[in-house]
Amino acid sequence: MKITPQTYQRFNRPDTLLLVSSFPLLGEEIAKRNAVARYSHLLLQHFPKTQKVVVFCEQVKGQNNQAYLLDKHILIIPTFSVNSLVLFTQLDHALAQFSQAKKILVQFEFSLFGKELITFLLPIFFLWQKFLGKKVYLMLHQVVLDLSILAGQVQLPAHSLKTKFFNLALKVFYQLFAFSSKQVLVHDQFLAKQLSSLLPANKITIIPHGINGYHSYSAKQKALIRKSFNLKTTDQVLLAYGYHSWYKGTDFLVKNFLRLKKEGKIGENCKLLLAGDVAPTQKNQMHLRQYYADLSTLIKNHPQEIIHTGFVPEEKVAAIFAIADLLVFPYRACMSSSGALALAMQYRKTFICSDFFLQNLLTPDLQKLSEKLEINFYEMSFKLNYAAFAQVLQSNLQAVASGQQKISSFAREVAKKRDWSLVAEQYLQTINSPVSLAFASQRARSVVFSQPLYLEAST
């Protein structure tokens, strides 16, 4: 459908939600740009059709940057140039065209809008929007208060004066961004707890990462998928899914997996499936180029042990998870919710993780459920050293092989409570938008969130 001035006018209403986020361009694969683009796309798909939304996303040089309708109630407008000061005038002009709409939802992640200067100016821009009468709701996909834990990611000495300066700047950044916002949203309780040292607890809302429906495959279908990767039916598949990066520990996993193979501590039939590629927001950063070059060389030199898929289109994600026997999350730091963990829950897969990543699971509702199902998270987690990783990997591979898996029931319950339709509803409740009758009736039939809406002041 052709976008006309009348189309813009149809969306210029008080109940329209204005979303500032990365988002797929017309006809683009939803996860190609970054994880936030995929997230926002899935979120809007589950909004009721009575909720009008205008999305202001990035323009990409050489790509199709035309505005389009994702649905009759969702208008996508590629608006701003990433990492350019003109971004602010572009956004200001675009938002002004929808003067009747008063609510702005911002999906924020570092490097999404640009480098340091652009990032630290964003709160000032949204303060201006607040002055103009807009109500800003901020979803923080990442919370980082101490850059020393990300030394290898940001190339800052852990205890230098420069690191201390940036840590202070980050605190000011979050406080200023929060001041410009009516409500600050995060996905997990551990992120909310970090923010509670800077913000009033009643200004922080926890909205869990959404989870899609379950997709099952027959044994025959799984065999065909394995064959496409030159895998035998007897091979054990260890899966690491998502963008590769230092803080996610991709290099730690590859090096220690190969060492285990070399020392004969895991069978020849155990293969490492790396599903993903270089993080789009990091691939052009000078200090990370050598990291990615070394990682790429290591992977290419071991084609018998490691299968590297590169970027996985959304339509093929289910197939990748279908053939995985065990997932691994070897994170060196935990600063955000994990979309890959949501997928593990969606496809009911057993996983192991570093003790840093374990924070994603240590919420009252998940711990209560794990106790009920007699699941010990600490038996699934390891410290970031070879011996600990080897022990946890070996024991969990044996459990998978013998069919001793309890995680499926756990994942099924978590998926029910974090279904995307419930997540979308919680967004609309938080921003005080009208909830459709269909949503209201669905809410009555659904399992409500057991995770608290607001972080208690005592935490």
What is the total count of domains within the chain?
Answer: 2
Asked whether 11 and 54 are in contact (CB, 8 A), the reply is yes
Residue 450 included in any domain: no
pLDDT of residue 178: 94
Domain edge (last residue) among 172, 206, 240: 206
Assess whether pLDDT exceeds 50 at residue 445. no
Q: Which residue has the higher pLDDT, 442 or 337?
A: 337
pLDDT reported for residue 146 = 79
Question: For the CA atoms of the chain, what is the radius of gyration?
Answer: 22
Residue 452 in tokens: 């608290």
The answer to the question of residue 441 being in a domain is no
pLDDT tens-digit readout, 376-418: 889 899 999 999 999 999 999 888 866 556 788 898 899 888 9
In the structure, what pLDDT confidence band is assigned to residue 439 with cuts at 50, 70 and 90?
A: very low
**Do 165 and 228 reside in the same domain of the chain?**
no
Residue at 454 is within a domain: no
pLDDT of residue 176: 95
**In terms of Cα–Cα distance, which of 104, 107, 88 is closest to 37?**
107
Q: What is the pLDDT of residue 438?
A: 41
Considering Cα of 31, then 36, then 37, then 39, what sign does the dihedral take?
positive
Residue 403 CA, chain-centre distance (Å), reads 30
Q: Give 248-286 as a 3 state SS string.
A: CCHHHHHHHHHHHHHCCCCCCCEEEEEEECECCCCCCCH
**Host domain of residue 396:** 219-415
122 within 8 A of 177, measured Cβ to Cβ = yes
Give percent of the chain above pLDDT 70: 89
Residues 179-207 have a mean pLDDT of 92
What is the rounded average pLDDT for all residues in the chain?
87
372 and 326 housed in the same domain:
yes
Query: Span 200-222, mean pLDDT?
Result: 89
> 235 with 149, same domain?
no
Same domain, 202 and 223: no
Q: Do 314 and 31 contact (CB within 8 A), yes or no? A: yes
Helix (H, G, I), strand (E, B) or coil at 238: strand
pLDDT, residue 291, reads 83
Q: 362-369, long-range: CB within 8 Å, 24+ apart, which pairs? A: 362/189, 362/190, 363/188, 363/189, 363/190, 363/451, 364/189, 364/450, 364/451, 364/452, 365/417, 365/450, 365/451, 366/414, 368/450, 369/410, 369/413, 369/414
Measured in whole angstroms, the distance separating CA 120 from the mean position of its chain's CA atoms is 21
Q: What is the DSSP letter of 459?
A: -
pLDDT score for 58: 97
Residue 448 has pLDDT above 70, yes or no: no
Q: Identify whether 427 is part of a domain.
A: no
Residue 379 in any domain: the answer is yes
Q: For residue 155, what pLDDT is reported?
A: 67
My answer on whether 299 and 386 are in the same domain is yes
Whether 73 maps to a domain, the answer reads yes
Question: pLDDT at position 402, please?
Answer: 62
Return the percent helix, strand and coil in the chain, to nearest 5: 45, 15, 40
The partner residues of 135 in beta bridges, in order of sequence, read: 103
| For range 207-223, the mean pLDDT | 89
Its sign, for the CA torsion 225, 231, 235, 236, is negative
State whether 202 and 54 are in the same domain: yes
Q: What is the pLDDT of residues 340-382, one digit of tens each?
A: 899 999 999 999 999 999 988 888 888 899 999 888 889 899 9
Residues 189 and 320 in one domain: no
- Band of pLDDT at residue 241, cut at 50, 70 and 90: very high
> What is the tens place of the pLDDT at every residue in 34-54?
899 999 999 999 999 999 999
pTM, two decimals, is 0.86
Instruction: Let me know whether 70 and 97 are in one domain.
Output: yes
459 located within any domain: no
Which tokens in the block code for residue 434?
Answer: 């009208």
* Residue 271 main-chain phi, psi, to 5 deg: -120, 145
- pLDDT band for 335, please (50, 70, 90 cuts): confident
Any domain includes 442: no
Last residue of a domain, one of 377, 398, 415: 415
Same domain (yes/no): 104, 226: no
What is the rounded average pLDDT of the residues 256-270? Answer: 94
pLDDT of residue 125: 97
**Do 275 and 405 sit in the same domain of this protein?**
yes
Above 70 in pLDDT, residue 436?
Answer: no
Can you name the residues that pair with 205 across neighbouring β-strands?
185, 454
Dihedral sign for Cα 74, 75, 80, 86, please: negative
Looking at the chain, how many residues does it have?
459
Q: Are residues 269 and 350 in the same domain?
A: yes
Statement to judge: residues 190 and 236 lie in one domain: no
The CATH number linked to 45 is: 3.40.50.2000
Beta strands 74-81 and 68-71: pairing type?
antiparallel
Is residue 243 a contact partner of residue 276, using CB atoms and an 8 Å limit?
yes
140 burial (CB, 10 Å; 0-12 / 13-18 / 19+) is buried
Q: Which of 206, 240, 256 lies at the terminal end of a domain, its last residue?
A: 206
Both tokens of 345, joined, read 């829950």
